[in-house]
Amino acid sequence: MFEIEFTPEAIEDIHQFRKYDQHKIIEGIENQLTHQATQETRNRKKLRPNQIAEWELRIDNFRVFYDINKENMLVKIEAVGYKKGSQLFIHGEEYQL
């Protein structure tokens, strides 16, 4: 079982969303990443090398970016963004992966 840790930036990202969405994001993280964070699924995939994180979790229009430390069984949530059409917004700014 993986332990989940949030960076201060990820916590700020989550707080910018509505309470309903915050709950949905946190519940999705807990359901999807506590047991099989390293297994690719329809909503979880390993990304090409980039500046944010190694993995992405899709929860509706939201995107959770995270890294995995297998030795310590730790999932570190780096950022949370949202998609609007084909555009991705992280920390309130458009971002290209």
Full pLDDT tens readout for the chain, 97 residues: 999 999 999 999 999 999 999 999 999 999 999 999 999 999 999 999 999 999 999 999 999 999 999 999 999 999 999 999 999 999 889 988 7
Residue 90's pLDDT is: 93
Q: Side chain identity at 58, as an amino acid letter?
A: R
Domains of the chain, residue spans: 3-85
Nearest of 16, 25, 8 to residue 78 by alpha carbon: 8
Residue 94's pLDDT is: 92
The CB density around residue 66, as the number of other CB atoms within 10 Å, is 27
Residue 91's pLDDT is: 86
Distance CA 27, CA 85 (A): 24
Residue 96's pLDDT is: 82
CATH class held by domain 3-85: alpha beta
